[in-house]
Amino acid sequence: MIETGSLYDRWQLMGEGHDTTSTALLFTLMLLANHQEEQNKAFEECFRIFGTSKRTATMSDLAEMKYLESCIKESLRLYPPVYYISRSCDEPLYLKNYKCPPGIDCGILIIDLHRRSDQFVEPMRFRPERFMEEPTWHPFAYIPFSAGHRNCIGQKFAMMEMKLVLSAVLRKYRLLPVTKPQDIRFILDIILRPKDPIYVKFEERFTI
């Protein structure tokens, strides 16, 4: 028997990740539509795994989707749904010429951190391959799910969700660009939201 508190935790895990995961999917679809070479690589990976089968992806299938996972990670780098977090200092923090005493709240603008040229080569370029190579950036320069003891407990679940959805879409449709990355404007909200709708054209594939 599941206790009431335990059941709530499970629903909380599902519910609280809804907006962030759907937003991440939106930006990933848009990026793949605008980068046909990368989209083709992700599709070819799916085709190697599934062939012409229409079966549902299994856990072992998801584990094989290395390139698709890199596409998701690169999308999360450029467009982190949780683009801002704050943390309270429990001990003195020194930032160059500044000292933050204990009890001070520090804001971390993740979207800016992810686009720093001193951490990422060609930071504004969508290049999933960077996540298939040895990292050259600081471990805390890429934190789409936060980091440390307060990181997102649902990050593995979210990655599985996104790989499941994106692989299903790519197996059936070719994504064509409508909205361009350079045209996107954001509004201030709890999560990263576009000011205007983002559009992607879905063209049915006839090879599978």
Q: Which residues of 19-39 are buried (b: 16+ CB within 10 A; e: fewer)?
A: ebbebbbbbbbbbbbbbeebb
Binding site for heme: what residues are annotated?
A: 152
The tokens of 16 are what?
């609280």
Cα–chain center distance at 13: 17
Q: Is 90 in a helix, a strand, or coil?
A: coil
The amino acid that residue 5 corresponds to is G
Integer Cα distance of 18 and 10 in angstroms: 13
Binding site: what residues are annotated?
A: 152
Tally of helices (H runs) and strands (E runs) in the chain: 7, 8
Neighbours of 59 (CB within 10 A): 8
Neighbouring-strand partners of residue 187: 193
Integer Cα distance of 112 and 119 in angstroms: 11
Helices (H), 57-175: 59-64, 66-78, 110-113, 155-172
